[in-house]
Amino acid sequence: MRCRVCRKPAVIDVRRHNAGFCPDCFFDHCRHQVERAIADHAMIATGERVLVAVSGGKDSLALWDLLLELGHRADGLYIGLGIEGYSEPSGEYARSFAARRGVHLVEVDLPSDYGFDVRSGAAASRRAPCSACGLSKRHIFDRATLEGGYDVVATGHNLDDEAAVLLGNVLRWDLAYLARQRPVLPGGEGFPRKVKPLVRLGERETAAYCVLRGIDYQVEECPMAVGNKHLGYKDALNAIEERSPGTKATFYVGFLERASELVAHVGEHEREGLHPCPGCGAPTTAPSCAFCRLVARAGDQRRQRIPLDQPVSAS
Ligand code: AMP
Ligand code: FES
Ligand code: ZN
């Protein structure tokens, strides 16, 4: 197979585009897809400061690298989730990328900064681990972005992620979630703009990008996510894509172009009752926000496990 652009030997084929690429033309292709997503959806304006949420995996490290290559002012944010055997090496990949590129990595650690990890937070709030984890990450993304004076926070959600989430939302006809499934969510009082510049790249492309650019990344999936519904939706879409390349992109891009506007108003009335959480300032309709309630419950559970007549700080 030859590169579609320059006819040198190709190292990757992108069946969706019915094209093979050599390394240099593949990098151009990835940069072009990200540039196009940013321009089409007005994600990032020239000169804005971007905080890239990096998990240590292929997508977010590829995103950070691509934004830097495109000349954006981008720092990273790594959140330590306290997942045994997984979080520490993930953080190391993020740190070594930052050191190699000479860029700044902001770090927040759930256990040491908030007193709980994903497992204990999930148990205390009676949520599934991925739900407690997602809630914590979203809160910390917002807070770190606002406190650091960044204009926008970017995550590494790719085409496969977004198509799988879309399939889940459609299977349940969850119109409120469909209304919020856009690659740009504008900021407001107490929360920043959020963008997903990788929505035009699949995960095979982000993995190939990292390998060809020499970026080391966490290959393992999160042990808590094994068997969750989202991965099942991805498998289903991969089976369809195998038979009809391009279906995934048509499904997702078609939604953005033809259906997204139709549901955009759903859930608007819920935003009317929002007020700032007294604990953290994030917008909520409840007396305090879901994250502050999670922190409080995890704290209650910790105290119950420590008998009050024993010194806490021994050893
Ligand atoms: P996930 O929810 O694990 O599919 O991750 C989606 C996106 O969230 C990733 O592409 C990252 O941008 C971001 N993310 C996930 N985990 C972390 C983490 N521990 N620290 C910072 N950002 C993260
Ligand atoms: Fe959040 Fe796995 S990364 S539960
Ligand atoms: Zn709060």
List the chain pLDDT tens, one digit each, 315 residues: 999 999 999 999 999 999 999 999 999 999 999 999 999 999 999 999 999 999 999 999 999 999 999 999 999 999 999 999 999 999 999 999 999 999 999 999 999 999 999 999 999 999 999 999 999 999 999 999 999 999 999 999 999 999 999 999 999 999 999 999 999 999 998 999 999 999 999 999 999 999 999 999 999 999 988 778 888 999 999 999 999 999 999 999 999 999 999 999 997 877 778 899 999 999 999 999 999 999 999 998 888 875 555 554 433
Q: Within its chain, how far is the Cα of 265 from the centroid?
A: 24
Q: How many angstroms does the Cα of residue 283 sit away from the middle of ligand 3?
A: 8
Boundaries of every domain in the chain: 34-304
By the CB criterion, residues less than 5 angstroms from ion ligand 3 are 277, 279-280, 282, 289, 292
Closest ligand relative to 138 C-alpha: 1
Q: Find residue 50's DSSP bridge partners.
A: 74, 152
pLDDT at res. 122: 94
pLDDT at res. 306: 59
Q: Within its chain, how far is the Cα of 199 from the centroid?
A: 11
pLDDT at res. 117: 96
pTM: 0.94
CA–CA separation, 83 vs 123, rounded Å?
Answer: 14
Q: Which residue CA neighbors atom 4 of ligand 2 most closely?
A: 130
- Phi and psi dihedrals of 45, rounded to 5? -90, 160
CA dihedral sign, ordered 249, 253, 258, 260: positive
Query: Are the C-beta atoms of 43 and 35 separated by less than 8 Å?
Result: no
Query: Are the C-beta atoms of 292 and 280 separated by less than 8 Å?
Result: yes
Q: Which residue CA neighbors atom 14 of ligand 1 most closely?
A: 55
| DSSP states of 273-307 | T-EE-TTT--EESSSS-HHHHHHHHHHHHHHHHS-
Segments of 4-88 assigned E as strands: 12-14, 19-21, 49-53, 73-80
| DSSP states of 152-165 | EEE----HHHHHHH
Closest ligand relative to 132 C-alpha: 2
**Ligand 1 cavity residues, CB under 6 Å:** 53-55, 59-60, 77-79, 81, 137, 155-157
Look at phi and psi of residue 7 and say left if phi exceeds 0, alpha if psi is from -120 to 50, else beta.
left
Q: How many angstroms does the Cα of residue 224 sit away from the middle of ligand 2?
A: 6
Q: How many angstroms does the Cα of residue 82 sit away from the middle of ligand 1?
A: 14
**CA torsion angle 135 284 144 110 (round to 10):** -40
Closest ligand relative to 117 C-alpha: 2
In the CATH scheme, what is the code of domain 34-304?
3.40.50.620
Q: Is 221 helix (H, G, I), strand (E, B) or coil?
A: coil
**Ligand 2 cavity residues, CB under 6 Å:** 81, 118, 129-130, 133, 222, 224-225
Nearest-CA neighbor of 80 among 113, 122, 126?
Answer: 113
